[in-house]
């Protein structure tokens, strides 16, 4: 530790011993000591097993720490903050904070870390505020548990950055620059996540990550060069990612990505109630009834924004020739388009989805034609039996076979199959007979159209 770093009491506590396990024990125990006067907050954090398991320091240990580090705070206000880099512009030696518990907010501002910073499995009970910092070497925060508000604003990450397995609530990486590989594999983002105006110079991975709220990757200025980003098996629970203004690399991986369904109005409104910021936007508290008109307006705004996000992703994937990904976002876009359409056209979108998964599936039309053939065969048999048209020489089995042939011919009428089946059943057609045959021919044509569309989409037929 340099002479300048030795002047910061928090850094001295973090490195009070040559043994990391002892440093962690003393740091965590001192956090518990500082928090004890705030009974309510102490009880709240005791619900966290990581905090409850912290070993209490003896009075002698507390006295020894305060004697060795006289500038170390002996108490913190309710909104107290750990100024980890106060009085410093550079930290030259490695800072190992693995497994440390931070019971108060942490501030890291205008500081250059010239060596490795490790936060593996660290626990942040409240906020972490890192602003205008430079990390020249690697930053490791694997398995870290960040508090309700985490920000790395206008930071520059020159070395590798690893947040794999980390947990965030609201996270802000606005205007930060990642110059080396960045890893968010298996990360869990419980709230809103912002990478607005972030510059990625090397590849980024969000494989198997979960975004429970919104995720914004937009660039408001001129777009930077595209880099490979992996969203393999990533789950977006409520909203699609926003890529407005950002170029998409041809190696962007959307394999097995999970995107949110167009939820019911009730579910969307529950989302609004759970989010305090949404409630604030409409000057409503979560425990008060929300005006139905305001509720409907907010819901529509959310759906429109999500639809625009899918539209941008579809356009970018299409420009790169990523057909599978393009159609993935097209299907989600159609789903929301149907939700936003007037009630009298909404059914057409639902049928489009049901019959062919918006032109993507060829098995759905095949299954539809199979059910159409079976059902109409039964309808024909029942109809002719009711009319007593067995002609005595035709038993029930023969009639069913005849009607199955008639049904098949009507489905594929466009191919002229009706000429290959006896037509004596239609010698004296009634209104019901005409209705059944015409409806089946029309439905058969619809299924054939979507079968061709599905085959064309899936096998890249032009």
| pLDDT tens digits, 11-70 | 999 999 999 999 999 999 999 999 999 999 999 999 999 999 999 999 999 999 999 999
Domain residues for the domain of 330 are: 285-340
**pLDDT surpasses 50 at 267:** no
- pLDDT of residue 209 exceeding 90, the answer is yes
161: left (phi over 0), alpha (psi -120 to 50) or beta: beta
Q: Is the pLDDT of residue 278 over 50?
A: no
- Contact at 8 Å (CB) between 205 and 227? no
**Which of the four pLDDT bands, split at 50, 70 and 90, describes residue 262?**
low
Q: Taking 50 as the threshold, does the pLDDT of residue 265 lie above it?
A: no
Q: At what angle do helices 343-356 and 363-386 cross, to 10 degrees?
A: 100
76 has a pLDDT exceeding 60? yes
Determine whether 287 is exposed, middle or buried from the number of CB atoms within 10 Å of its CB (0-12, 13-18, 19+): exposed
Name the strand (E) or helix (H) holding 96. strand 95-96
What pLDDT score was predicted for residue 295? 81
Q: Are residues 369 and 334 in the same domain?
A: no
Residues ≥6 apart with Cβ < 8 Å to 181: 160, 161, 202, 203, 204
Residue 456 phi, psi (nearest 5): -65, -45
CA 15/CA 10 separation, integer angstroms: 9
At residue 6, does pLDDT exceed 90?
Answer: no
Indicate the range of 356-365, 416-425, 438-447 predicted with least confidence: 416-425
Mean pLDDT for 190-217 is: 96
Alpha-carbon distance values, 400 to 80, 351, 382 (Å): 83, 30, 9
- Count of CA atoms in the C-beta half-sphere (13 A) of 109: 9
Please state, rounded to an integer, the average pLDDT across all residues of the chain.
88
Are residues 434 and 368 part of one domain? yes
**380 plus 416 within the same structural domain:** yes
Residue 340 in this model has a pLDDT that exceeds 80: yes
Question: Both 407 and 441 in a single domain?
Answer: yes
Can you tell me the distance from the alpha carbon of 441 to that of 407, in angstroms, rounded to the nearest whole number?
Answer: 9
**pLDDT for the residue numbered 440:** 92
In a domain, 453, yes or no: yes
Residue 113 belongs to some domain of the structure: no
451 shares its domain with 367: yes
In a domain, 149, yes or no: no
**Confidence band for 80, pLDDT divided at 50, 70 and 90:** confident
27 within 8 A of 13, measured Cβ to Cβ: yes
Asked if the structure places residue 416 within a domain, the reply is: yes
Judge whether 309 lies within some domain: yes
Q: Are residues 430 and 396 in the same domain?
A: yes
In-domain check, residue 311: yes
Residue 117 lies in a domain: no
Residue 459 pLDDT grade (very low, low, confident, very high; cuts 50, 70, 90): confident
Residues 404 and 448 in one domain: yes
Answer yes or no: do 435 and 387 share one domain. Answer: yes
Q: How many residues are listed for the chain in this entry?
A: 462
Q: Of the given ranges (52-66, 121-135, 149-163, 260-274), which has the lowest mean pLDDT?
A: 260-274
Percent of the chain at pLDDT exceeding 90: 71
pTM for this prediction: 0.86
Closest C-alpha among 229, 258, 222, 248 to residue 317: 248
Q: Is 291 helix (H, G, I), strand (E, B) or coil?
A: coil
Structural domain count, the chain = 2
Q: Tell me the sheet residues that pair with 172.
A: 151, 194
- One domain for residues 329 and 370: no
Q: Which two tokens stand for residue 126?
A: 């409240």
Asked whether residue 451 is assigned to any structural domain, the reply reads yes
**What residues contact 400, with CB distance under 8 A and at least 6 apart?**
377, 381
Query: Do 368 and 408 have their domain in common?
Result: yes
pLDDT band at 388, cuts 50/70/90? low
Tens-digit pLDDT profile for residues 138-197 = 999 999 999 999 999 999 999 999 999 999 999 999 999 999 999 999 999 999 999 999
Spatial neighbors of 298 by CB under 8 A, at least 6 apart, are 272, 278, 281, 282
In this structure, are residues 102 and 123 in contact, taking their beta carbons and an 8 Å threshold? yes
Task: Kindly state whether residues 377 and 412 are assigned to the same domain.
Answer: yes
Tally the C-alpha atoms within 13 A of residue 192's C-alpha that lie toward its C-beta: 14
pLDDT at 462: 53
């Amino acid at each position: 530790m340099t002479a300048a770093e030795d002047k910061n009491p928090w850094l001295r506590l973090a490195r009070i011993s040559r043994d990391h396990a002892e440093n962690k024990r003393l740091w965590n125990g001192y956090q518990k000591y500082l928090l004890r006067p705030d009974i309510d907050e102490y009880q709240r954090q005791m619900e966290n097993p990581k905090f409850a398991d912290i070993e209490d320091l003896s009075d002698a240990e507390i006295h020894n720490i305060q004697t060795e580090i006289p500038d170390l705070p002996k108490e913190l206000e309710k909104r107290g903050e750990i100024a980890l880099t106060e009085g410093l512009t550079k930290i030259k030696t490695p800072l190992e904070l693995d497994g440390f518990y931070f019971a108060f907010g942490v501030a890291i501002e205008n500081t250059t870390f010239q060596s490795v910073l490790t936060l593996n499995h660290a626990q942040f009970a409240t906020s972490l505020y890192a602003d205008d910092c430079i990390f020249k070497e690697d930053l490791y925060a694997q398995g870290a548990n960040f508090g309700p508000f985490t920000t790395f604003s206008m930071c520059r990450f020159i070395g590798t950055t690893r947040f794999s397995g980390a947990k965030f609530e609201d996270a802000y990486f606005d205007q930060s620059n990642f110059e080396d590989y960045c890893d968010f594999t298996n990360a869990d983002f419980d709230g809103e996540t912002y990478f607005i105006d972030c510059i990625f110079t090397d590849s980024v991975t969000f494989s198997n990550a979960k975004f429970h709220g919104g995720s914004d990757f937009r660039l408001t200025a001129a777009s930077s060069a595209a880099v490979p980003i992996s969203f393999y098996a990533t789950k977006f629970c409520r909203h699609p990612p926003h890529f407005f203004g950002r170029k998409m690399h041809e190696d962007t991986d959307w394999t097995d990505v999970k995107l949110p369904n167009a939820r019911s109005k009730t579910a969307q409104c529950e989302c609004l109630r759970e989010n305090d910021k949404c409630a604030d936007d409409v000057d409503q508290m979560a425990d008060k009834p929300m005006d139905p008109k305001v509720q409907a307006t907010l819901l529509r705004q959310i759906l429109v924004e999500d639809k625009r996000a899918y539209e941008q992703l579809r356009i970018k994937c299409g420009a790169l020739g990523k057909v599978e990904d393009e159609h993935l976002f097209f299907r989600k876009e159609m789903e929301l388009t149907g939700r936003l359409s007037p009630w009298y056209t909404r059914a057409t979108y639902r049928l489009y989805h049901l019959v062919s998964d918006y032109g993507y599936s060829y098995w759905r039309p095949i299954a539809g034609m199979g059910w159409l053939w079976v059902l109409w065969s039964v309808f024909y048999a029942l109809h002719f039996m009711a009319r007593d048209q067995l002609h005595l020489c035709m038993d029930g089995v023969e009639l069913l076979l005849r009607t199955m042939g008639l049904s098949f011919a009507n489905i594929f009428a466009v191919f002229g199959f009706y000429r290959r089946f006896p037509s004596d059943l239609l010698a004296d057609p009634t209104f019901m007979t005409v209705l059944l045959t015409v409806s089946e021919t029309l439905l058969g044509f619809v299924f054939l159209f979507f079968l061709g569309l599905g085959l064309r989409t899936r096998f890249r037929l032009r």
